[in-house]
Amino acid sequence: MLLFNALIAIGGLVATAVFGLLLYQMYLSLRLNREALDLARESTQRQLRAYVGVQDFKCGGCGDNAGVDEVFIRVSNDGLTPAMNTFARIGWNVGDAGCGASDSSFSYNYSQARYLKSFRTLPKDAKDATAFDPNREVIQQARTSGGRLCVYGTVNYKTIFNDLGERETRFCFWYTRGSERVLCEDHNDQN
């Protein structure tokens, strides 16, 4: 009888161990399913969300082919859903070699912010622009000192996916002494 009870006890332990192993495998399966669902959600958001890009930037006073008081940025939404609350910011600096350079400690301070001319919510495949006031003081300082003029900014917007928060597309240009516009090495999403 003692042997029989021992076999039942051993069988119970084996059954408990098998049941525990099955529970652990079910937990792992649930975790993998949740990770797969999260990956599918992220992939869907990447495919469907708004992508606002800078199509053109002109600064006439800086040397671009535009009117002397003309500073504008043209953007487009190349995503599949609208970009909401879309606005652009701009900043100016002269002589600081850190602007637009990788691993620099340059401080990007923005002096102006503007909503787009036609759309606050930029639909799919739409293009729009906004204008800024030229910073004549900084432009003149660059000309008289022979320093390089740095013009930088962002286009900010929200997507239909609230959990992504506000998105930002950066732009940054150097203007050389000959008024040639050059993309910054860093702090721009155009290269």
Look at the chain and report how many structural domains it folds into: 1
Q: What is the pLDDT of residue 86?
A: 93
Domain extent for 112: 49-183
* Structural tokens at position 49: 């969300």
Q: Is there a domain that residue 138 lies in?
A: yes
Q: What is the CATH number of the domain that holds 58?
A: 2.60.40
- Is 129 part of any domain? yes
Is position 168 within any domain?
yes
The answer as to whether 170 is a domain residue is yes
Q: Domain for residue 125, yes or no?
A: yes
pLDDT tens, the chain, 191 aa long: 777 777 777 877 878 887 888 888 888 888 887 887 777 777 766 677 889 999 999 998 888 887 878 899 999 999 889 999 999 999 999 877 788 888 788 888 899 999 999 888 889 889 999 999 999 999 888 888 877 889 999 999 999 888 888 999 999 998 877 678 888 888 888 65
Q: Is residue 24 part of a domain?
A: no
Look up the pTM and report it.
Answer: 0.75
Look at residue 140 and tell me if it is in a domain.
yes
**Per-residue pLDDT, 114:** 93
